[in-house]
Amino acid sequence: MTDDTSAPGAPFRETARRLARRYLLFVLAGFVVSAAASAGLFVSQRAWIGDCDGSGYSEEYYLAWCGSAKFQDYEHGAVYYDLEDGVVERLRAAEVLFLGNSLAQTAFSSDALEAFFRDRGLPYYLMGFGHGEQDRFAAAVIERFDLRPLAVVVNADHFFYDNQTGVGTLVTSQSALAILEYHAKRILQPIHRRVCSGGGSWLEPALCGTEGTIYRSRRTGRWQYRSFPVDREIAIELADGIPPATRERLPRMIEIARRFKQFIADRGGCLIVTSVPSDGLAPEAVREIARRAGLMSALPDPAGLATWDGGHLNRRSVELFSRRLAVQLGPLLDRCRAAHDAAKSRR
């Protein structure tokens, strides 16, 4: 048998193989370094959690939103991509869903509302979202997880637009970039929680910021603010009647409200509208939508309420508004139950 190493050209071929292996290792190393650098750059621009207030974590609460431009929203993807344990199960079990934007999430996140539903033995969930979210994203979540609540309560201001925000559009696109961003934000939260738990970690100065942050309950969807002046008192100035610009849009909003009512009815539920008081908003417009779209409405008296930023109710007003809302919701939910039971008996 002939030894290959003694064949003509063998030393050259062996040297070429060694060089090729070294080149391949060099390329692979470069790829790993490049990928790590790209991942680090992505996190620093789209999922950097180190500027956020890390004081609100618990077994129940996760970080939903942070004022840092490098983090911003997590809750849209957390719900839509089912990233948080138990949330979808709670949504499916909820007999009452609350929908709307950040004004709604703030106003409904109260001890008063939680006590109301606990006393009635009704599971509920706050399924509003920040960034001014509207009806189309809420409908996408309802369809994605086949939610069939007894009743849906909507903060109708800026909701019935047959639209969704840019954040909602990004999340429902299910693009690789969107999925990567929201998974990165989920993965970083346990690290953030561990470092910022008050244990004196040397990483605290780098990872535990002071940007305004919102935490969200996995159990009820309730919000909790951190590093926001939620006790500040700013008087509310509601719109007088229905402003011309709102009146111009009203027929379209009523048409969309009718469609949304049917969408909920097809799933066995009833639709109730409300209006969370805030500067410049027009409760009369919501009253008109309810009347012409044939919707039940709960419109608490805004007297004595205040905001902390000109838009969101302050801590005191959240509880006062929720108590007034609960008084009106009771009879309406009884009507929803009666209609649901009657429809069920006819099947």
Residue 166 placed within a domain: yes
**DSSP string across 17-47:** HHHHHHHHHHHHHHHHHHHHHHHHHHHHHH-
Per-residue pLDDT tens digits for 228-275: 999 999 999 999 999 999 999 999 999 999 999 999 999 999 999 999
Please report the beta strands in 90-198, taking only residues with DSSP state E, as ranges in sequence order: 96-99, 124-126, 151-155
Query: What's the confidence (pLDDT) of residue 45?
Result: 55
Residue 8 placed within a domain: no
The residues, any chain, with a CB within 8 Å of residue 12's CB and separated by 6 or more, are none
Residue 46 placed within a domain: no
Confidence label for 346 from pLDDT (cuts 50, 70 and 90):
confident
Per-residue pLDDT tens digits for 12-57: 666 655 555 554 544 444 443 333 334 443 444 579 999 999 999 9
Query: What's the confidence (pLDDT) of residue 345?
Result: 77
Residue 36 placed within a domain: no
Confidence label for 203 from pLDDT (cuts 50, 70 and 90):
confident
Contact 255, 210 (CB under 8 A): no
Query: What's the confidence (pLDDT) of residue 38?
Result: 40
For residue 72, give the 3-state DSSP assignment: strand
Query: What's the confidence (pLDDT) of residue 39?
Result: 42
Query: What's the confidence (pLDDT) of residue 3?
Result: 52
Residue 12 placed within a domain: no
pTM: 0.87
By the 10 Å C-beta count (0-12 exposed, 13-18 middle, 19+ buried), 8 is classed as exposed
% of the chain beyond a pLDDT of 90: 81
The whole-number average pLDDT for the span 299-318 is 97
Query: What's the confidence (pLDDT) of residue 207?
Result: 87
Which has the minimum average pLDDT: 194-198, 260-264, 283-287, 326-330? 194-198
Q: What is the DSSP letter of 208?
A: -
Query: What's the confidence (pLDDT) of residue 12?
Result: 61
Residue 39 placed within a domain: no
Per-residue pLDDT tens digits for 103-123: 999 999 999 999 999 999 999
Number of domains in the chain: 1
169, pLDDT greater than 80: yes
Per-residue pLDDT tens digits for 172-187: 999 999 999 999 999 9
Identify any residues that bridge with 61 across adjacent strands, giving them in sequence order. 217
What CATH code is carried by the domain that includes residue 265? 3.40.50
Per-residue pLDDT tens digits for 143-161: 999 999 999 999 999 999 9
202, pLDDT greater than 90: no
Query: What's the confidence (pLDDT) of residue 46?
Result: 77
Query: What's the confidence (pLDDT) of residue 28?
Result: 46
The residues, any chain, with a CB within 8 Å of residue 75's CB and separated by 6 or more, are 64, 65, 129, 130, 214, 216
Residue 115 placed within a domain: yes
Work out the mean pLDDT of the chain and round it to a whole number: 90
Residue-number span of the structural domain to which 70 is assigned? 61-346
The whole-number average pLDDT for the span 296-323 is 97
Residue 254 placed within a domain: yes
The whole-number average pLDDT for the span 75-79 is 98
